[in-house]
Structure 1
Amino acid sequence: MSQFTGYDVAGLIGVTLMLIAYGATVAGKIDVKAWPALLANLIGAVLVLISLGHDFNLSAAVIESAWAVIALVGLIRLALGRR
């Protein structure tokens, strides 16, 4: 039986964060454009990208990169809107 690596743990934590954020937005618990959802998605995507450093998959890297950029843009817009 193989053991989890640090990359596996990072990826699993990242996926968990993104699923929790998605579930919370669908359930109406948090706003999809609010910082908690955006930050969870950004951190989650970055953690999945880190996990892909061990076992690379191009399609997964593309979607996670896009997910991270979208979340980052949302966070920047929130930060600039509060000035």
Structure 2
Amino acid sequence: MYDVVQIAGSVLILAAFVAALGGRLKQSSYAYLATNAIGSAALTVTAVIGREWGFILLEGVWALVSIYSIVRKATGQSVAAAH
């Protein structure tokens, strides 16, 4: 189950990234932000279980930034995105 969660989290993040590069998703869209938040949160959990400190830092911050951006967007504030 551990490996399934890691692969699913990675696939979510990579799918959003590829979709953004392909012009199918805006980096400030709810779909992009939510996909990143869910994927990185899943990877953070597996990193905590495995005590992988660097991975906890990377994915934990990624999840928090994604969630923060969702909150900003939901409250009508701008979400910075690459053009």
How many Å apart are 1:54 and its aligned residue? 3.0
Q: Determine helix, strand or coil for the equivalent of 1:45.
A: helix
Q: Determine helix, strand or coil for the equivalent of 1:60.
A: helix
Q: Deviations over 1:8-65 (max 9, x none)?
A: 1111100000000000001110000110000000000111112123322111110001
Q: Is the 8 A contact 2:48 2:56 kept in 1?
A: no
Q: Determine helix, strand or coil for the equivalent of 2:62.
A: helix
RMSD across aligned C-alpha pairs, in angstroms? 1.3
- Misfit runs of 4+, over 6 Å: none
Which of the residues 31, 49, 53 maps onto 1:54? 49
Structure 1: runs of 5 or more not aligned: 1-5
Structure 2 letter corresponding to 1:23? V
Structure 2 letter corresponding to 1:59? G
TM-score of the superposed pair, with normalisation by structure 1: 0.86
| Identity rate, percent | 25
Of the two, which has the highest radius of gyration? 1
TM-score of the superposed pair, with normalisation by structure 2: 0.86
Alignment coverage as a number of residue pairs: 77
1: CA distance between counterparts of 2:68 and 2:60?
Answer: 12
Structure 2: runs of 5 or more not aligned: 78-83
| 1:63 alignment partner in structure 2 | 58
1: CA distance between counterparts of 2:31 and 2:14?
Answer: 13
1: CA distance between counterparts of 2:74 and 2:7?
Answer: 29
